[in-house]
Structure 1
């Protein structure tokens, strides 16, 4: 039995061995122990009533510890939230937008950030959106636009449409430190699939936002904001009553079930030796297999193609296929039992550690059938 097949035995509720779930970039299956965490949260509430919060804090701290490990930042201040958007709003509310009414971002940010920044622009904030292409010079071009009127730069470490890793973000961090601007890095498509160290990346003074819904298998409600050392005194306008305890970026009363689930899954990853380097090794193998099987289909470029000029190490965890028929291809895959998604003209195929090579090969064969139906 292959390692992937052995791992799949721990995901019986999601039936990963029986389904072609190429959703690893969007929402991975939860291991069975996640259900144990949900039940444990209920039992603790029933047993301890109001005293459950002390028990819940143990699970919240396990999540913070997991985030610190993934960031390679053992002393990081980590605020937790139900969504990355919630934490983005708290971050934005801490900015001096009256005196520095300018935000720099890119045209490749996820919709929650894009829409929120658009609304800030509607309210009078100057929003500078930098094209991601050509990606090799993106960091340099963003850095050049940071000035003393800039309150913040909002960028991703891995682009959510194309899976490209954004190089050179240290240059943006340097520009922000030089001018007094803040840097927020969206690492949602980085953590759990591409090893990262904020210090080694030159981002020790950057804010980092992300969550566990995708590669970490933690499910909803497990997002985080890493507060950089220089911002220990920052005070968000949008804050909750939990913040009086010292966590300025904390919210208010919440459903702690998500943290129980996260604690169980993080421990499961340790037990299964699913470390960041191991997850990257699996991801590179699986994405490479998908790319080779796609090429073997011999489909016309005008229908669907992929970036063959960029080395595999420059991508994150999913294979992005460019097609004007991306939506129809996604529908064709769904009709054939393959779960995937698309963003604009990009069909996104995301493997996961519990999928076997045979499943990935079968899925790409079904893509060939779907493509034949839309020509």
Structure 2
């Protein structure tokens, strides 16, 4: 059904078959490196052609047409009312670091988050905590059923300048219950960031009610399938934060007539950085335009993946695998509480490493985080894929 978009990657997977394992590579690390649709190759070549034909004038095309088109596509996907409020950068860490730099470095900074955040933010917090004015409170993600109550209670009872939480946790695949509703009720004095990377273009997301209350970050490397280097952050309208980490792109509107002092625009350029490789923009835009043209929505992608997950669960339940079983699966609620990958507790990092190696011999590619083994699902998995080979 959707495999027609990924012919080149799927051909490479077929070429990975061996006499010992004649089946094509089954790529189940799509929550990490997602296959790219074929249109991305044409997009990279078009970027080169535009650079060759336009030279410096390519910036007029990029900033005048390509970036606004990308912003509109992101806004349509997330139901955001102001596309011009979507900032771009090569990675989300750059955007979040720029946001962190907007807080006064000599005043107390209290940050509320969870113990399940991705490494880039978690590492940055550990470094920030070395500063005497920074305090971080981490709410345990488990038990997931009570996470909303525990997080919101702390959010409303503490004097926090920043709250940060993932829409889908990178290690477990579990969706933060009621996160958008909590964001709608957050204290006005608290800036809030939702890390949407493991939900964007996977789980249907409507940010219209909180567009001017939160910063939302995501990018093209995971489920959009457009590769590295193209990330974004939505910015609440009326935001007056002045990032200390500010790039020259933030002066884009005044390059010809620079004013005294450091000014900031009222759109995405407030959080703009500096020169980057926009081939990633071309790739991401090509996928967004392809799916829009063909009527492939996040809702249809999500339903398709859930069907894959149900077939996987059926094959798992029919087997008696010592590690891949219901007892070790972190979360079961596909309708309301899960992203597009399953995570299994393997008891130890050694068990997870051995299982990953066993699956690799069966031409099943997956990944792990310490004792956790992760198995992802994508629209490039065929409808007749049973996943039975994982359990034999």
State the TM-score, normalizing by the size of structure 2. 0.85
Specify which of 310, 316, 329 is matched with residue 339 of structure 2: 316
The SS at the match of 1:347 is strand
Residue among 21, 24, 27 paired with 2:30: 24
Distance, in Å, in 2 between the alignment partners of 1:330 and 1:96 is: 45
Closer, same or farther: CA 168–100 of 1 in aligned 2, 3 Å: farther
1:81 aligns with 2:89: yes
Question: In the alignment, is the contact (CA less than 8 A) between 1:16 and 1:29 conserved in 2?
Answer: no
CA shift at 1:112, angstroms?
0.7
Task: Tell me the distance in 2 between the aligned counterparts of 1:254 and 1:308.
Answer: 39
Task: Find the aligned partners of 1:197 and 1:137 in 2 and give their Cα distance.
Answer: 23
**Greater mean deviation of Cα atoms: 4-13 or 77-86:** 4-13
The 2-side partners of 1:298 and 1:102 are apart by 48
- Kindly provide the CA deviation profile for residues 30-74 of structure 1, in whole angstroms up to 9, marking residues without a partner as x: 111101111111111111111111122222222212221221113
**Could you tell me whether the CA contact under 8 Å between 1:329 and 1:367 is conserved in 2?**
no
Structure 1 residues 22 and 291: CA distance shift in structure 2, 3 A: same
> For residue 167 of structure 2, what is the aligned residue in structure 1?
157
User: What does residue 193 of structure 2 align with?
Assistant: 184
User: Closer, same or farther in 2 for the Cα pair 1:171/1:30, shift >3 Å?
Assistant: closer
Q: How far apart are residue 126 of structure 1 and its match?
A: 0.6
Does residue 54 of structure 1 match 2:60? yes
Give 2:311's aligned residue: 289
> Structure 1, residues 301-346: CA drift from partner, whole Å, max 9, x if none?
6987214653543211112222122222112212221111112322
Is the 1:8–1:16 contact (alpha carbons within 8 Å) kept by the matching residues of 2? no
Q: Secondary structure at the match of 2:303?
A: helix
Write the mapping of 1:134-149 to structure 2, written as runs, cut at 5 A. 134-146=143-155, 149=159
> Shift in Å at residue 139 of structure 1?
2.4
Report how far residue 16 of structure 1 moved: 7.0
Distance change >3 Å, CA 203–CA 323, structure 1 → 2: farther
Contact 1:140 1:172 in 2 (8 A): no
Which of residues 38, 41, 45 in structure 1 aligns to 2:47? 41
The 2-side partners of 1:67 and 1:28 are apart by: 18
Among candidates 91, 109, 114, match of residue 117 of structure 2: 109
Alpha-carbon offset, residue 143 of structure 1: 2.1
Instruction: Give the whole-Å Cα distance in 1 for the aligned partners of 2:211 and 2:173.
Output: 20
Note the C-alpha offset of 1:14.
5.1
Aligned residue pair count: 361
Distance 1:69 1:100, change over 3 A: farther
**RMSD of Structure 2 on Structure 1 (CA):** 2.3
Distance 1:272-1:27 versus aligned 2 partners, 3 A rule: farther
Deviations 1:287-314 (A, max 9, x none): 1111221222222369872146535432
1:283 shift after superposition: 1.4
Which 10-residue stretch deviates more, 138-147 or 15-24? 15-24
Aligned partners of 2:137 and 2:330: how far apart in 1? 27
C-alpha offsets along residues 84-105 of structure 1, whole Å, 9 cap, x if unaligned? 1111101111124543421111
Distance 2:10 2:57 in 1: 33
Q: Give the 3-state SS of the residue equivalent to 2:45 in structure 1.
A: helix
Q: CA deviation at 1:348?
A: 1.1
The whole-number CA distance in structure 2 between the counterparts of 1:248 and 1:169 is: 26
Q: 2:176 aligns with which of 166, 179, 197?
A: 166
Q: Which sits farther off after the overlay, 185-194 or 325-334? A: 325-334
SS in 1 for 2:245: coil
Tell me how far apart the structure 1 counterparts of residues 146 and 186 of structure 2 sit (CA, whole Å): 17
* Aligned twin of 2:329: 306
Rounded Cα–Cα distance in structure 1 between residues aligned with 2:69 and 2:42: 16
User: Aligned with 1:310: secondary structure?
Assistant: coil
In the alignment, is residue 197 of structure 1 matched against residue 219 of structure 2? no
- In the other structure, the counterpart of 1:237 is 244
Does 328-337 or 83-92 show the bigger shift? Answer: 328-337
SS at match of 1:269: helix
The list of structure 1 runs, each at least 4 consecutive aligned residues, that deviate by more than 6 angstroms after superposition, is: none
